[in-house]
Structure 1
Amino acid sequence: MLPFIDLAAQRRRLGTAVDEAVAKVLNHCQFILGPEVRAFEAELAAFSGAKHAVTCASGTDALVLALRAFGVGPGDAVICPSFTFCATAEVAVLVGATPVYVDIDPVSFNINPAHIAGAVETAREQGLTPKVVIPVDLFGLAADHGAIAAAAKAHDLLVLDDAAQGFGATYNNRRIGTFGHATATSFFPAKPLGCYGDGGAVMTDDDKLADLMRSIRMHGQGSDRYDNVRIGLASRLDTIQAAVLSEKLKIFPEEIEARDRVARRYAEGLRDVVTVPTVPAGMTSVWAQYTIRLKPGAREAFAAALKAEGIPTAIYYPIPLHKQQAYKQYPVGKGGVAVSEAVAHEVISLPMHAYLDEATQDRIIDGVRRAVVR
């Protein structure tokens, strides 16, 4: 079976650089918030164009840190798409707020900004205070941040960009990291920029917000580690992971270009048999996943045919949040989520990584063409 994401190929390219970086940490023994963490935060901020980057223990914690720093809690509504990983809604519940689901655009699979107003209305009807909208840069493509910002301003919402899959992409020729009031990302190993464990970060231009998040990630400490001025978390990116990420960030721009080449070859080879993803003008994708859309009812046989040829596939996401057991009690905004429900039955993702060579990709393309039910 071919690898769906080939982390071993990237490991070979990095060679001894990661080993040497980790060895430095093992030698100085500053395993929590050591110098590599501060260095990586500066590198991450510079890469994204944000003033601050605050690292933490996971992408989920990154979202929680931002919501806590925003002051979101019980009685507040957090608007988010239903077609996304559960963490986007989970974090609202973790801080005591209520997620309100909105639908997605059928082409980009990202949040439909036109539905935000309906979600605000639904929240208010249920006695909630709409506080935040969390767009998701799904599958590596930036959401429509201009339209989202306009809708958020019209309804007095804060914007928390969930860039767990989209970090490194651009919108209007600006890298993700400076849209909205804060941008959260994940360094889970399968992400385009991933570490060798869990990790996350929040980027912001807001000095006060950054200071609050630094306090919250350290148990809410004030001027001293035993001067706790607020309820916080133990959520720090460990120094070894920061060292790994610094080395990976050095090659990240080249990997983004390589992923884009792979995506273009997929589109050229498949656009006449399946619905392939597209990137609007002025935007780029980091192609966290290469997700195609099939005809209704075709997915199960399609996946089985590829599996028989040793070609892996994955489905992101087969059940929208509003239908999942833990999340179905939360409200759906006016306008419904019909697109989310349809897409959940029709999307499937193909192998995608920066080290997918042309011969292997041709094998996948040929397999897909044979597997498609015309």
Structure 2
Amino acid sequence: MVMKNYPPEFKADAVALVLSRPDRTITSIARDLGVSRETLRVWVRAAQALGEGGQQAAGGAGTGKDTPAGPVPSDDVLEEENKQLKARIRELEQERDILRKAAKPFRERDKLVNRSQFVEDHKLYGVKRLCRVLQVSRSGFYRWLKGAAARLARRQADEQLAERVRRIHSEHDGTYGSPRMPAELRAAGIVNHKRVERVMREHGIAGLHLRKKVRTTIPEPDAVPVPDLIQRDFTVEQPGTRYVGDITYLPVGGGRFLYLATVVDLWSRRLVGWSIADHMRTELVVDALQAAAHTRGGRLDGAVFHSDNGAQYCSREFARACRRLGVTRSRGAVGTSADNAAAESFNASLKRETLQGTQHWPDARTARLAVFRWITRYNTVRRHSRLGRLSPIDYEKTTDSLKSAA
């Protein structure tokens, strides 16, 4: 029941109900009547203030008879209830704070060890409360606490072993991993190979692995034949007439790869178009060709673009892109890298000079930035043996100047 102005009869009946039911709380009666607890309490107090006559009026309003008087909670009782509620609220707030602080460390490593360590680090909340909230047995926690000295000694021994492993790893040029490292340490009396492997794993020490060969040229069996218009002749007398391109992989940490598609002008050896992505779909090589067209003024009319027989270069989508940009396609023989040696050489130089003997870049962003920096320096600074020790862009500028002077 929701009412803005309660009639006197309703108030009298409500007070009579409270006084007649000492076994029920004001809160429960107020809920049944649809009024607030404080409102009902005010009515009861007002009725009590009237004395015996007020109680009779309240009792007789509904029935015409006296209503048995029942005990009403005193102010002291209400105050005590209020204190208990506030204490419970503080308890719940502390439990909430404990769980919030414990959420992150519990996601890492061993949960049981984390919980015991958390109890030790936050004893200000009380061990009993912490163990209850985190569901840790107190006896288990105290057993864990007694083992602190042994754990410290084990941790120090692992650190010493890790330092020894690092020294051996360095002496062998980073090539020793598992099982070579345990075999090396066995002579020194360390025969627990699982412990050695665990320490190496925890400290990020790994041996040298052969780089996994990544196949980037996947022939398209149903491709329409395209003639080889280059015939391994990579010498060009005019700019913008012959381009070569290829796809190469860029190794990134975690066994992942990025892929680079290139378009090189055989005349100046300039990289005029390129594209990097985490896939080898046809759009990768199309984006590189479009970038080359943008560098050369928007189109590549009359130019020959030579590639291998990878599925991307044999696709209908790439053929349409070539027609749109005015390019004539050329492809070498299947399975013969020498037919596209200029593009292969460019990719080899890029990876050799950017990776410098390392196995991979730590992440994709680092790889992209390293390749971007090298490509920029390759075009503008790096001296090329076939260009009279000039950079590709300097060669183009010098040649253009000579032609203009002539």
Q: Please confirm whether the aligned pair reaches a TM-score higher than 0.5, indicating the same fold.
A: no
More helix, by proportion: 2
TM-score normalized by the length of structure 2: 0.24
Report the TM-score, using the length of structure 1 for normalisation.
Answer: 0.25
